[in-house]
Amino acid sequence: MVRDLLIRGMLSGVVAGLLAFGVAKIYGEPQVDRAIAFEEQHAKAQASTQEHADTQASAQQHEHGDDEEELVSRKVQSTTGLLTAVAVYGAAMGGLFALAFAFLHGRVGDMSPRWLSLLLAVAAFVAIYYVPSLKYPASPPAVGAPDTIAYRTGLFFLMIVVSLGGLVFAVAASRHLAPRFGGLNAALIGAGLFAAVVVIAQLVLPDINEVPAEFPTIVLWKFRMASLAIQVLMWTTLGLLFGWLAERLLSGRQAIARLKPSSA
């Protein structure tokens, strides 16, 4: 059964990724282009104020990549590259989603596959995207110091790990406390524990703000709204589509199981 769920999860993830590609292409990519244009204008303005020719040449090399042809053109990045990236990401998230669903199914009470899938999608959206983005919101690729890309990426993934760990801890704690305090009270306690973990992480982890003061605010806002829309669409599609496919699969297996004793 796990294999069948895994296949359906990956297929659902690919469909979610294709829908996310449409949003990214229409709403996200124009903001990336505007951010790149801003970076180029900013680099030219800095180069024009240099007093020494060698400093000016260094600035021009940084802007144009030593006048070498880029390995992947911007056109490829915004079309086939973007499509491949979101499809692979969707398939990977769909596979992990299906494995999590297979583990939780039957262990969280008498919940239908559709409801379990939808709740799991909401939890994944919150833990994987929403909570980390509160600390480290999305910014266009052209924004930020190139030397700190690895550092910023590491902090973002660390925030994801902390968020997921806090979610698992909160769910486990609420299940353990349910017999003693009741389901609703245990769920509220678990939510409080998750919020506490998130707040502590928000306070402890370092802040990052490398967006130039003169960067257009509207471009940054539109890019972040596009990023939010992509994630909402992806996880909503994954939760609904996989829930429908999983329910059909599990209902069919249950029907076969009920027929076997009577046929024997």
Among residues 190, 210, 230, which one ends one of the domains?
210
**Mean pLDDT on 197-204:** 93
> Encoding tokens for residue 170?
């909160």
pLDDT of residue 219: 87
Same domain, 103 and 195: no
Same domain, 54 and 12: yes
pLDDT of residue 121: 95
**Mean pLDDT on 31-60:** 64
Task: With both helix axes pointing from N to C terminus, report the angle between 82-104 and 2-23 in degrees, rounded to the nearest 10.
Answer: 140
pLDDT of residue 62: 46
Tell me the whole-structure pTM to 2 decimals: 0.80
Same domain, 65 and 193: no
**Does the structure show a pLDDT above 60 at 182?**
yes
Minimal CA–CA distance to 187: which of 198, 196, 176? 176
Total structural domains in the chain? 2
pLDDT of residue 130: 94
**Does the structure show a pLDDT above 70 at 1?**
yes
First-to-final CA distance of the chain: 23
pLDDT of residue 81: 78
* CA-based radius of gyration for the chain: 23
Same domain, 186 and 237: no
Same domain, 225 and 242: yes
pLDDT digits (tens, 9 = 90+) for 61-84: 444 444 445 566 767 777 787 888
Report percent pLDDT > 90 for the chain. Answer: 44
Give the separation between CA 35 and CA 31, rounded to whole angstroms. Answer: 6
Which of the four pLDDT bands, split at 50, 70 and 90, describes residue 34? Answer: confident
**Mean pLDDT on 109-133:** 91
**Mean pLDDT on 47-61:** 52
Residue 193 lies in a domain: yes
Same domain, 131 and 224: yes
pLDDT of residue 264: 45
> Encoding tokens for residue 53?
């020719």
**Does the structure show a pLDDT above 70 at 39?**
yes
pLDDT of residue 147: 79
Minimal CA–CA distance to 17: which of 63, 107, 66, 84? 84
* CA geometry: angle 135, 158, 91, nearest 5 deg: 100
Same domain, 102 and 175: no
Residues of the domain holding 16: 2-144+220-263
pLDDT digits (tens, 9 = 90+) for 216-235: 889 889 999 999 999 999 99
Same domain, 17 and 95: yes
Minimal CA–CA distance to 231: which of 73, 77, 24, 32? 24
CA dihedral 188, 192, 197, 198 (to 10 degrees): 100
**Mean pLDDT on 199-220:** 87
**Does the structure show a pLDDT above 60 at 251?**
yes
Give the separation between CA 215 and CA 253, rounded to whole angstroms. Answer: 56
Which of the four pLDDT bands, split at 50, 70 and 90, describes residue 191? Answer: very high
